[in-house]
């Protein structure tokens, strides 16, 4: 107890030691608690990227709101797009509180996105040319996202863990929404089945990339060691990719779909899935905003940001007047 | 323009009650320029599915929160048996002598309904 009362007088090394003891004991760190700079920086990068990916991730799906094949499908995909924007709102709040001591706000995050200093997830740089792509995003892209997000439900940073709890609860709806579209197409006409297979062919490499490279050797940097050290997540990129295969590959095969990788199989002796690596050079290009839809979608964001500036200004004026 | 916008958003904490007899529960926080927009956003952000019967938004500045050091002082010593039913575990056995059952929490809370005679 006496030691606690002198907390503010502890040296940085002692604070660090106490911080590590706390997270190793499973305690949650809150925004105003002392934390090492490396922890704060890793969280800001991770959560800001997660936040803008939710917002950018709504774009390929929103393209299908006007073109959904029935009113019920339109309502379903609209609800999902709204959820993604809602997740963005939650995560921006978490990132903002971490950035506050650095004098930064939500504006900085959005401007970093629009000025291409902040990356967004590789999958959201890809085109969604058919209704099967919309279904596949809900089924497999959200499936991959569920893998990475559930892995962080026990994150040492309390606000992020709480945001993820809300997000994962909604992901259950997203997963079944995607499955419903996929099952309808898989049980549909020959054209529908072909459309589904083509969508899978288009998305397979992006899905493998989703979990990131297995080691830092591939792309030069990797946050996985730091995030594991600080108990933000527990599994490596490769473990998550393997888990994804375990949950989804049998279902893909069960629907009669072909995975565009003839080497794909489960090696029982090794206890792991054998697969062909995606082109990690291409991955680097995509996340540098040189993917097929990167610039078009960023431009859409920039336009929306500019066109809606008057709303933010008007609301600000109301408050000043009041 | 960015500079002008920086100052006007406020952090609001959002609380809601699922049903009239449920406790107020903290949901999350949001950024809004005023209370009215904060209420609208609270509904949009957090009440898209769950039932809700009451909703509060409070500016975070108005909340006195405890810090890391104060939080550490919340830890209790495990010596409060006398405040808990756990400290009176013997009554169950002692009632047996009189061929009576002890009233536990489940029993007592069941009295809000029909009592079997």
Does A256 score more than 70 pLDDT? yes
CATH class of A17-209+221-321: mainly alpha
Are B69 and A32 in contact (CB < 8 Å)? Answer: no
What pLDDT score was predicted for residue B7?
54
Dist CA A23 CA A42 (whole Å): 15
Q: What pLDDT sits at residue A312? A: 83
A93 vs B contacts (CB less than 8 Å):
11, 28-31
> Are A90 and B44 within 8 A, CB to CB?
no
Alpha helices in A151-189 (DSSP H): 158-186
Element (H, E) at A31: none
pLDDT category at A320 given cuts 50, 70, 90 is low
Which of A32, A92, A105 has its CB closest to that of B6? A105
Q: How many CB pairs below 8 Å do chains A and B form together?
A: 72
Domains and CATH numbers, chain B: 7-62 (3.10.20.520), 75-110 (no CATH)
pLDDT tens across A46-105, in order? 999 999 999 999 988 999 999 999 999 999 999 999 999 999 999 999 999 999 999 999
Q: In this complex, is the C-beta atom of B65 within 8 Å of any C-beta atom belonging to chain A?
A: yes
First to last CA, chain B: 75
* pTM of the shown model: 0.90
* Residue-wise pLDDT tens digits, B43-95: 999 999 989 999 999 999 999 999 888 888 898 888 889 999 999 999 999 99
Per-residue model confidence (pLDDT) at position A215: 81
**Rounded distance between C-alpha atoms, residue A241 and residue A211, angstroms:** 6
Cβ separation of B4 and A313 shorter than 8 Å?
yes
Domain boundaries, chain A: 17-209+221-321
| Residue A113 confidence (pLDDT) above 60 | yes
The answer on pLDDT for A313 being more than 90 is no
Interface test with A, best of B45, B46, B60 (most A CBs within 10 A): B45
pLDDT at A119 exceeding the cut of 80: yes
Q: Tokens for A52?
A: 């803008």
CA dihedral B47, B50, B55, B60 (to 10 degrees): -60
Nearest-by-CA chain B residue for A320: B8
What pLDDT sits at residue B77?
87
Of B4, B33, B68, the CB nearest to A318: B33
Q: pLDDT of A179-235, one tens digit each?
A: 999 999 999 999 999 999 999 999 999 999 999 998 877 666 667 889 999 999 999
Within an 8 Å CB–CB cutoff, is residue B61 touching chain A? Answer: no
> Is the predicted pLDDT of residue A5 greater than 70, yes or no?
no
pLDDT value of residue A259:
98
Residue of chain B nearest A159, judged by CA positions: B28
| Per-residue confidence (pLDDT) for residue B1, from 0 to 100 | 36
* B8 has a pLDDT exceeding 90: no
Of the candidates B31, B67, B73, the beta carbon closest to that of A32 is on: B67
The pLDDT of A269-285, averaged and rounded, is 96
Task: List chain A residues with CB under 8 Å of B8.
Answer: 312, 315-316, 319-320
Model-level ipTM above the cut of 0.90: no
- Is the predicted pLDDT of residue B3 greater than 50, yes or no? no
pLDDT reported for residue A4? 53
Using CA coordinates, name the residue in chain A closest to B7: A316
Output the DSSP codes for A101-138: GGT--HHHHHHHHHTTSS---GGGGS---SHHHHHHII
Report the distance separating Cα A175 and Cα A163, nearest Å: 18
Q: Where are the beta strands (DSSP E) in chain A?
A: 265-267, 272-274
* Cross-chain Cβ contact B28/A322 below 8 Å: no
Token pair 């940001």 is at which residue? A305
Q: Print burial letters for A258-279: b (CB count within 10 Å at least 16), e (below 16).
A: ebeeeebeeeeeeeebebeebe
Residue A78: predicted pLDDT:
96
Length of chain A in terms of residues written: 322
């Amino acid at each position: 107890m006496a030691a606690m009362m002198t907390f503010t007088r502890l040296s940085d090394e002692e604070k660090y030691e106490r911080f590590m003891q706390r997270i190793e004991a499973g305690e949650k760190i809150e925004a105003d608690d002392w934390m090492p700079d490396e922890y704060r920086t890793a969280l800001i990068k991770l959560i800001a990227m997660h936040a803008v990916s939710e917002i950018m991730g709504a774009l390929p799906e929103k393209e299908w709101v006007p073109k959904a094949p029935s009113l019920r499908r339109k309502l379903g995909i609209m609800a999902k797009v709204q959820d993604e924007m809602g997740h963005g709102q939650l995560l921006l709040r978490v990132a903002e509180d971490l950035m506050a001591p650095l004098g930064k706000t939500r504006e900085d995050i959005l401007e970093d996105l629009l000025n291409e200093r902040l990356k967004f997830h590789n999958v959201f740089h890809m085109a969604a040319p058919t209704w099967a792509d919309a279904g596949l995003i809900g089924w497999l892209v959200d499936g991959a996202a569920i893998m990475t997000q559930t892995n962080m439900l026990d994150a040492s940073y309390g606000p992020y863990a709480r945001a993820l709890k809300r997000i994962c609860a909604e992901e259950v709806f997203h997963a079944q929404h995607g499955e419903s579209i996929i099952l309808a197409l898989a049980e549909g006409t020959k054209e529908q089945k072909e459309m589904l297979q083509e969508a899978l062919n288009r998305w397979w490499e992006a899905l493998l990339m989703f979990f990131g490279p297995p080691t830092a050797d591939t792309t030069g940097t990797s946050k996985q060691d730091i995030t594991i050290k600080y108990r933000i997540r527990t599994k490596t990129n490769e473990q998550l990719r393997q888990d994804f295969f375990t949950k989804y590959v049998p279902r893909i095969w069960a629907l009669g779909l072909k995975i565009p990788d003839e080497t794909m199989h489960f090696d029982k002796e090794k206890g792991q899935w054998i697969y062909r690596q995606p082109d990690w050079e291409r991955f680097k290009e995509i996340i540098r905003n040189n993917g097929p839809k990167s610039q078009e979608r960023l431009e859409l964001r920039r336009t929306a940001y500019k066109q809606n500036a008057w709303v933010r200004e008007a609301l600000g004026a109301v408050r000043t007047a009041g | 323009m960015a500079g002008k916008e920086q100052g006007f958003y406020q952090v609001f904490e959002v609380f809601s009650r699922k049903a009239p007899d449920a406790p107020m529960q903290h949901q999350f926080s949001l950024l809004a320029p005023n209370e009215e927009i904060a209420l609208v956003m609270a509904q949009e952000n957090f009440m898209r599915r769950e039932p809700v019967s009451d909703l509060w938004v409070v500016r975070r500045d108005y909340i006195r929160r405890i810090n890391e050091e104060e939080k550490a002082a919340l830890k209790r010593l495990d010596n409060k048996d006398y405040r808990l039913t756990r400290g009176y575990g013997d009554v169950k056995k002692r009632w047996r002598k009189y061929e009576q059952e002890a009233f536990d929490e489940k029993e007592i809370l069941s009295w809000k309904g029909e009592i079997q005679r």
